[in-house]
Structure formats: C-alpha cells, structure tokens
Amino acid sequence: MTTQTTPSESPKSPGTPETSDTPAAARAGLVGLPASLGRALATGGGVLTIVSTFLSWTWTTDFPGDLTVYGYPGGLQVLVLIGGVLTTLFGLASYGVRGVRALAPGSADAAVKMAALGTFGAAWYTVIAISVELGGLVNLDPGGVVVAIATLVALIGALALPFTRPEPDPVDPDDTGWELLRHNTRQRWNTFRAAFAADTPAPARPLPSWAEILVIVAVMAVGLTVFSYGVGTAYDELFIGFLITAGFGFAAVSKAGLVARVSAITAKHRNITMIGAFVAAAAFPFTQTSDQYATIGVYILIFATVALGLNIVVGLAGLLDLGYVAFLGVGAYTAALVSGSPSSPLHVHWPFWASALLGAVVAMVFGVIIGAPTLRLRGDYLAIVTLGFGEIFRITVLNMDGTSGPDVTNGSNGISSIPNLNILGFDFGAQHQILGTTIGRFANYLLLMLIITLVVVVVFRRSSDSRIGRAWVAIREDETAALAMGINGFRVKLIAFALGACLAGLSGSVQGHVTYTVTPEQYQFAYAVPPNSAFLLAAVVLGGMGTISGPLVGASLLYLIPAKLQFLGDYQLFAFGVTLILLMRFRPEGLIPNRRRQLEFHEESETPAVLSKAGA
C-alpha cells in the first residue's frame, strides 16, 4: 500500500520541491530515516566536525602537519574544517534559513550529500593514515575520535535526504539470470546517481553590475587560493586530502547551483573575467616563498597553452590529431637554433621576439605541409596519419646528428645550454625584486608565459566567434551537411590545422629557454613527462572541448596530479589512470563543458532548462 508523506515526516526542501501527494517511497532517501531527522543529523554533524578540528587528533608530532595543537587547526584539519563548514552551510540552506538559502539556488539536498561525503572521506583518510603510520588506533586523541563519529553521522543524515527515484525499467520475462543481474545492477546505479543529482536552478535574481564584478573578483581570489594551496602542499598526505576536499567541494558547489550562476555572470562580463584571471595568475608567484613551486606553475602554463591550441583542432574543428606535440617541438627547435646556444650549428643569436615569431611561422608552415595531403582523410585514418607525423618528426631530429644525416639538431644530445632570455635589459635568469618580493628564474618565465597564454586565449576567442569558427563547428558536427551548405571543408580544416600548429610553435619557443635543452625524446606520443600528445589530448577532453577555460583546467590537473603522486612509485600511473576513469565516468562532457556538449550527455535533464532559456 502506498503511503503519503506528511510535513512532519518529510519537510519540503527549497532545493527539492515536492507535492503533498508525492509517494513516500518515491521521496525516501538512501537511508531509511525521516528527512527531518536526516537534515538535523547532517547539519549537526557538520557543526560537530567544525568543533573537532580545534581539538587534538593525535598525541605525537610524528604525523606530518602537527595535529596535536588545541584551538588551532593545522594540516589536514584545515581541509576537514572547510568540508565541515560547507556541510553546515548547505544543511542550513536546505532548511531555508534566510540569508543562507541564497548559497544553494539549485539543490541544497544534493549539495549537502556531496559536502558530507567529501568531509567524511578527508576525515577518515586522516584517521586511517594516523593509525597506519603510527601503529594503531591507540595513537588517536579525542579529537580524532570525535571527527570520525561526527563525519559519519553527517554522512548518514545526508544520505537520508529525499530525492526523486527514477522510474524502474520494465523487466523482460524472458531474461536469463545474467540479464536480470545486469538489469538490477543498472537500476540500483540509476537510483544511486539520482540521489546525488541536482534540480534545475531557480531563475537568478539580477544583480547590479558592480556586485557581479565583485563576484568575479571573489571567484578569482578563491581560485588563486585553492591553486596555490594545492601546488604548495608540503607532504603527500596533505595533497591526497586536498584532492578529496577540492573534488567533492567543487561537486557540492556545482550541485548547489553556484557554478551555473557564476558561469552566467562570467559569460556576461567576459573581458573583465579574462583580465581578472590574468591578474590572479600573475599574482601566483607573489604567493610563493621560493621558486620551487613557480617551476610547476610555468610548466603548467606551457602545457595549458599548447592544449588550448590543440583545442582549436580537436574541440572546434573536430580533427583528431595524435601528433600535435611535434609542432611544439618544431617551435622549440627553431627557437633553440637561433638562440645563441653554443651547440647550435647556426651560431646566431636573435632577439626573443624574432625567434618566437620564427618558431610560430615555421610550425605553421609544417602544419600546412602536413595538413595539405592528409586532411582529406577523416576520423581514425586522420588520427593514424597525424600519429605517424609525430613519430617522423622525432626520428628526423634524432637522425640529424651529422652521421645519419646533416648536422642540424645534434641527434639524441639535442641543443643544450640555451641561454636565458634578455628582453629590454630584463634578464629572465636572474632574481629580481618586484613589489618587495624576490622573483626567481621560473617566476620570470611564468610571467612571460602568462603573456603568451593571453595571446593564445585572445586568438582562440576571436577565432571561435568568427565566421571561420562557426564553419569549424559545422564541420565538427556534420561534415557532409556543412559541405552541402557551401563550406569549403578542406580549406577550413587546413586553417584550423595551421593555426593550432602556429600556437604550439609559439609556446615551444618559450619552452626551449625554460628547459635549457631540447631533445627528441621530449616530443614522443607518450613521454613520461607532459606535455606529450597523449596528455594534451586528455587535457582537452577532460577539461571540456571547445571552451577556453576547460583545457586550461584540464592541463593544470593532468600536470599537477602526476607531479604530486610520485610517492606512489610503480603505482603512480595506476592511480592516475583510475582517476581519469572516474572523471570520465562521472563527468564525460568534461569539467567545464560548453552547452552543446553538455546536452549530448545529459539531454533528458538539461533540455527543458535550455529550451526555457532559449524561449525567454
């Protein structure tokens, strides 16, 4: 018999609308507790989690981070504190508390679940790590026990929050036992996924322009803080806790509808957003006390800039290029040959602007030469040909050593001792005092790469919004239909190939000076250290094809995570692969997708909202 919910049993959540005649079975949570009790447990557990971070979690300082201090969170306690604050705030928002409700214009219940799950993961990871590294649960202080219980209670309460269960798929009476098992497993997975799904955000209240600009500034400040904290994690346990907290925290904020609101504001003020992002990135070296982490920053920017160039080829034009890293190598070798390096057979020293332009032009010429005979192919055949081009480039520069071929690239030794840049008297290899902060060599190159990245972003943006950009999208979606509409497919694809190669060559001209040496093995399809063709393609797909911020975020993650997982040794690639599989499983459209690609993967849930916006 179907029972009906009552206000006392299942109070209406502002983020999860329900009617009085909604069956209780359809609104029940994953845990068989009343919704009112679930909200109380989740919110109370969040508050208790905050309190526990001000207690001592272990009695000894042998565990990194010094978790023995009362009244001052440190190390992993800070991450659990952030998770507890998010859980508490979204729990209060699910009650409809005035002032806090604005933090969850989407689904407060789904946000509570994600926040509680992330806080539980970070806290229990810390408790388990303390027990394993120090030799048992006896090493836990009262604070460690309290946080374990508090986060568990908050998670149980969050899982008791109601959600709309999906309609069960009909069962075929002729199904075998294995088919029934697959059917039941799929139905359970759909139910679990629906429990964490967010509702359509409510219509946003318009904000004055000055308030929207302040929102953009705040978002950039938070982004800079999170990135600086992740790069500067001093030990392995802290980085793993950071990944757990940042991942589930972003998911909670997204389920709450804040990401959609911020995206709408940044789309409205695109120029201000781009300037704000540039300023935030430029401030990164000033947040570091040494040049150690600026090294990671400059390599991330090189990787991200090249990925953004590949996004033109793959994301906009839909051309699968598996040898794109070769264009980076063309630019790097070209700039290195005219850099004044003693190992360069040309023995010339051009200024940076000339070598950078030469690297970009030569890479573009190679793009036209390679693209002209191959871009008449499609799909897998084009991918195989571009993969072959990447290997041909590597083998060619390897053999141009004066023995197997002309003496141009010094073979496997490469071009070494590339001098530091000197632009208008500014030596990029020396330390400088800027605004009272000592800026080292890699920080200097990071600021230079920011300018290069800004140029690439402007080119990408202007190209995608132009007539040729719309032609690229048409080719990507349906080349046959685009050709029938009068688009010259070969010319359009060749322009995309040449432009992407030009941007890669521009980045390569800086990479050669940063690394001091360019060698053939740096430009393999799957080199151990990014950027390489495999990682570049993964960065574009993971971040979000066809967007500007997607490849930048994807490249940052794909460079930062392997660099921080080196302590895993032989299991590093395994852990990295599992991470990619999970991201692609739960976010197949990319971390920051465009609207078209998001509809392809979430058509049923997203189409009504998009159609309503289009109608408005």
Q: Which residue has the tokens 């109070």?
A: 11
Query: DSSP string spanning 401-425?
Result: BSSSS-BSS-GGG-B--PPPPEETT
> Which pLDDT band, with edges at 50, 70 and 90, does 542 fall under?
confident
Cα separation of 322 and 211, whole Å?
44
Cα separation of 112 and 100, whole Å?
13
Q: Which residue has the higher pLDDT, 303 or 586?
A: 303
Residues 597 and 546: beta-carbon distance below 8 Å = yes
What mean pLDDT value characterizes the chain?
A: 82
Cα separation of 404 and 396, whole Å?
10
Tokens of 110: 């789904």
- What stretches of 400-525 show up as alpha helix (H) in DSSP? 441-464, 467-477, 479-484, 489-515
pLDDT reported for residue 55:
93
Q: Which of 93, 95, 116, 120 is nearest to 42 (CA)?
A: 116
> Which pLDDT band, with edges at 50, 70 and 90, does 20 fall under?
very low
Query: DSSP string spanning 32-59?
Result: SS-HHHHHHHHHHHHHHHHHHTTS-SBS
- H-helix or E-strand spanning residue 283: helix 270-283
Lowest-confidence pick of 145-154, 189-198, 594-603: 594-603
Tokens of 458: 């402007």
pLDDT reported for residue 192:
64
Query: DSSP string spanning 105-147?
Result: SS-HHHHHHHHHHHHHHHHHHHHHHHHHHHTSGGGB-HHHHHH
Q: Which residue has the tokens 């798929």?
A: 169
Cα separation of 388 and 324, whole Å?
11
Cα separation of 273 and 461, whole Å?
13
pLDDT reported for residue 15:
44
pLDDT reported for residue 189:
63
Q: Which of 94, 88, 112, 104 is nearest to 12 (CA)?
A: 94
Helix (H, G, I), strand (E, B) or coil at 458: helix
Q: What share of the chain is helix, strand, coil (3-state, %, to 5)?
A: 65, 5, 30
Q: Tens digit of pLDDT for each residue in 422-440? A: 888 888 888 877 777 778 8
Backbone angles phi, psi at 588, to 5 degrees: -65, -25
Q: Length of the chain in residues, anyone? A: 616
Q: Which residue has the tokens 């009552």?
A: 6
Helix (H, G, I), strand (E, B) or coil at 437: strand
Q: Tens digit of pLDDT for each residue in 141-171? A: 999 999 999 999 999 999 988 876 666 767 6
Residues 489 and 509: beta-carbon distance below 8 Å = no
pLDDT reported for residue 242:
93
Structural domains in the chain plus CATH codes: 26-166+211-255 (no CATH), 294-424+434-564 (1.10.3470)
C-alpha to C-alpha distances, 222 to 105, 218, 228, 340, nearest whole angstrom: 20, 6, 10, 42
C-alpha to C-alpha distances, 375 to 90, 321, 460, nearest whole angstrom: 51, 10, 21
